[in-house]
Structures are given as C-alpha cells and as structure tokens.
Amino acid sequence: MKEYTCAEICSKIKELFNEATPLDSDCGRLCDKSCCKGDSETGMVLFPGETTSLLVRETNGRKIAVCEGVCQRENRPVSCMIFPLFPVLINGKIKVWPDYRGAAVCPMVNHFDEIIFSKKFIRAVKKTGKLMLKNRETTEFLNGITEEILLEKELEDKFLKEGSK
Ligand code: SF4
Ligand code: SF4
C-alpha cells in the first residue's frame, strides 16, 4: 500500500470537501451555526500535518486551532469540514459515525438516524478515514479519536437510557 505523508493526506482530504457539505441545504439554518460560535477558549483539533492561519495552542499533545467564529471557509480546518460526522475504525473497518463529541453543539448528532445526509458528504467522510490509514501517524490519530467517540457514545447512550426510566 502506498504511504502518503500527513501533509499529503490533509491536502487530499481538503479536496474531498471542496463541494461536499453535510446536507444538500444549509444546515446552519437548523441551529444558527452553533458550531461556529467559538471563543478564545474553544477550538478544533488539527489533523497531523495540518496547518492553519488560525491561532494554534497545544493541549494534551494535540494542536488545537482556536476559533472565534470567523475563518476563510476554503481554509477551515479538516475537523470543521467533516463535522458533524467522523470516520471511526472499528474492527479494522472504516465506518462513518456522528461525532458524539459534538452532541451538545450540533442537533444532527443526536438525530443522526433521522437526517438525510448528503451521499457525497458521507462518501467524503468515509474516504477521509481510508486516506488516514495510509500513514502511521494519521492512523494513530484515527484510533485515538475513535476511542474518544466510542466513549462519548457510551455516555450519551447511558444518559438517554437513564432519562427514559
Ligand atoms: S452545529 Fe451542526 S447543524 Fe449547526 S451548522 Fe454546525 S454542523 Fe450544521
Ligand atoms: S474555523 Fe470556521 S468553520 Fe471552523 S468553527 Fe471556526 S468559523 Fe466555523
């Protein structure tokens, strides 16, 4: 299998999202763009090898782009491009899941089963996962985020179960 550098992978991922958006309509109208209402304390994790013109801070060994709600759309971080979905690696296979880390922000995360996501967007997220497998560092990153999403999903399921008692 051909191995790409992290920067090559980032650039290939960004190309996938030139035109692919979560819905065929503007999902920002569902929530008044709540995922873009950042402040100096919030941010998006950068993918390995990703560069940005946004301010970057480091937390737990990860680079975080700090967003105060404004960016050049074509240069937004990959995390923004693929939100509210994320590729996860389960039993060696890439699956496309809602990004449960963003459940409090995005109404589409908890209503994933009811939403008709753009097929092009889902394909792009899946391809993102497959590209990430072409480099050791991005594969480790994918494994780490998969663990975080699984954990958030467990907490979410537990919360919903307890709420229905
Ligand atoms: S929070 Fe979700 S629904 Fe709202 S703009 Fe972001 S991705 Fe779209
Ligand atoms: S970087 Fe851009 S797309 Fe991402 S949260 Fe900030 S304003 Fe929204």
Q: How far apart are CA 106 and CA 84, in angstroms?
A: 7
List the chain domain ranges.
6-163
106 Cα: distance to centroid of ligand 2 (angstroms):
13
Question: Atom of ligand 2 at shortest distance to CA of 81?
Answer: 3
Which residue, among 128, 78, 122, 84, has the nearest Cα to 106 in the 3D structure? 84
Q: In percent, how much of the chain has pLDDT > 70?
A: 97
Among 50-54, 154-158, 161-165, whose mean pLDDT is lowest? 161-165
- pTM comes to 0.93
Which of 31-35, 40-44, 161-165 has the largest mean confidence?
31-35
Q: How far apart are CA 20 and CA 112, in angstroms?
A: 17
Probe residue for ligand 2, chosen from 37, 76, 106 as the CB with the greatest number of ligand atoms within 8 Å: 76
pLDDT at residue number 117: 97
